[in-house]
Amino acid sequence: MRMKKIKYITPICFLMMLFALPQLAFAQDMVDGANTAWILTSTALVLFMTLPGLALFYGGLVRNKNVLSVLMQCFAIACMVSILWMIFVYGLAFGDGGSMNKLVGMGMIFMSGIGLDSTSGDLPETVFFMFQMTFAIITPALIVGGFAERMKFSAVLWFSAIWLVVVY
Q: Does residue 71 sit within a domain?
A: yes
Q: Does residue 25 sit within a domain?
A: no
Number of domains composing the chain: 1
CA dihedral for 94, 100, 101, 102, sign (positive or negative): negative
CB of 124 within 8 A of CB of 73?
A: no
Q: Which positions ≥6 away from 166 have C-beta within 8 Å?
A: none
Q: Does residue 11 sit within a domain?
A: no
| Spatial distance between the Cα atoms of 140 and 159, rounded to a whole number of angstroms | 9
Q: Does residue 73 sit within a domain?
A: yes
What is the domain range of residue 162?
32-166
Per-residue pLDDT of the chain (168 residues; tens, 9 = 90+): 555 556 666 666 555 555 555 544 444 557 778 888 999 999 999 999 988 888 888 888 888 888 888 889 999 999 999 999 998 888 888 877 655 555 666 667 777 777 776 777 778 888 898 999 999 999 998 888 888 888 899 999 999 999 999 987
Q: Does residue 26 sit within a domain?
A: no
Q: Does residue 62 sit within a domain?
A: yes
